[in-house]
Structure 1
């Protein structure tokens, strides 16, 4: 048989807990009173269930984070564990700090959407998934953006992703093996030119920099300093032509500065100053011999 002194205690607790939904900022006082009362186990469970219902009602009712925290914390819903996965370039501490900036100290008060948007605004983060695991755990799964190229814009150097979006300024000795693109629009068009040059592997492996010109076409700077000026249209065909001439004539090994392929009907080769001087000397000597031959020619 239930002791007689339990009935008053039950009736004394129930109204207090039920008032959680009605009292707003006074909730803390009532919850503390409840926790201090020597309740039997089944009644403690009843209080917890009613308290959880009250917290849920507050969340739906749009109460402030502080009010919800005040109700949820005594019920054991404080955030105690945060599991972060999927990070390599991002600091776990930065993720936790971003989460705490949301201001919530308990799971019911945590706005998952706002927290996710804040974390996804971090430089390396492509997407984030946040889950609440009651009573006190938060799970955060990250997907980071992949570094695709180094982009020089004026005097600034950025790490960019496949879509040409800036990730972070380049300030490390890492990622030196990434393709190097230069100029306005170069980051945005990098994936396209890299895919095209991959079709000309003999040339592709010698390219040190891709320079975007007028946001219309590309100059390719090779490992020996030679520049290949590609046309706006059919850059693959132009690049293939250069390599065909190189295989047959050793073009790129000569003393040249650039190979201009912008004109569809011709290739224009610019010599180095030293090579030009030698060539001018040859031409001058040839002209001299021709004039001398003309004078000695019988009338």
Structure 2
């Protein structure tokens, strides 16, 4: 006899029952959406409904699989499981394209991506990978994109070197903003302007822009030395130092360029050209220059004496 049956109450009205328990009361009726599942359950109980073959095996497999997945989730191993399965089904990353890198080596990029031989493209976190790549010294911006089924594309925008900054014994490559990129290691960075002084980076862009108005003069400057956070000394390739004033340095630069063009001042036997005092130019001679000047003065005195004697 069916477990789900119709029974009659004392008044003779029929009502639905399951396992002898009434499913409708005077004030309660089983919701319509539950009636069909309850009838199916009753049929299973009386053997009127036959489950499909191997349903018990399938249900057991589903139970074991769901238990394993849930256990992996609780233990933090679910990502690794997904990675392993998808990698072995044709989604393992086996090609990496790196574009935009000139100073950043591909080996460093690969290391930042954190790949191994079985990294799956499906479970790979491009956001975290982008952050790791962006932390490389020369990288200013990075983008990491998946190209299915098995390729990663990395686009890099690198920082632009502006100058070398010497602070004590430390020498670094810096950006225009003054931010240190990497320690100096030679190569083509040797062609960058050399700034000397811990406070030289901030005013350097504007000052170097003024110097660049005179390309021939700029090409002869070996170092830009910041003095006391107030003014600049220019060290030339031939060892001459030009001491610029604190104020109106643009006019001082124009004056020294004009004197060099008209009189070849910077080619003489001098050590320094001091322009710190307004409207006055002080030149310090080299030892050889001092001797040559003394000799010239003596010759001039002799010449004056001979002329005086000739008049007598």
Q: How high is the TM-score relative to the length of structure 2?
A: 0.66
The higher relative CO (CA closer than 8 Å, separation ≥ 6) is in 1
> Aligned pair 1:256/2:262, yes or no?
no
Say yes or no: does 1:149 pair with 2:194: no
Residue 284 of structure 1 deviates from its aligned partner by 9.0
* Match in the other structure for 1:88: 102
Is the CA contact 1:165–1:188 (under 8 Å) kept in the aligned structure 2? no
Partner of 2:141: 127
Alpha-carbon distance between aligned partners in 1 of 2:208 and 2:60, rounded to the nearest angstrom:
71
Deviation at 1:247, TM superposition (A): 2.8
The offset of 1:16, in angstroms, is: 6.1
Structure 2: runs of 5+ lacking an equivalent? 1-51, 305-312
Cα displacement string for residues 32-70 of structure 1 (whole angstroms, at most 9, x for unaligned residues): xxxxxxxxxxxxxxxxxxxxxxxxxx9xxx986424424
Is the 1:225–1:257 contact (alpha carbons within 8 Å) kept by the matching residues of 2? Answer: yes
Q: What do the CA deviations read for 1:163-208 (whole angstroms, capped 9, x no partner)?
A: 3332222223433322222221334443322211011234212212
Which one has the largest radius of gyration? 2
Residue matched to 1:197: 211
Q: Tell me which residue corresponds to 2:189.
A: 175
Of the candidates 115, 129, 135, which is equivalent to residue 115 of structure 1? Answer: 129
The runs of at least 4 aligned residues of structure 1 exceeding 4 Å deviation read 7-23, 101-104, 277-287
The SS at the match of 1:225 is coil
Residue 186 of structure 1: SS of its match in structure 2?
Answer: coil
SS in 1 for 2:213: coil
> What TM-score, normalized to structure 1?
0.68
Higher-helix-fraction structure: 1
Which of 112, 117, 135 does residue 98 from structure 1 map onto? 112
| Deviations 1:63-99 (CA, angstroms, capped at 9, x unpaired) | 8642442454355433232221122222212211111
- Contact 1:102–1:110 (CA under 8 A) maintained in structure 2: no
Matched residue count? 251
Deviation at 1:146?
A: 2.7
- Alignment match, 1:69: 83
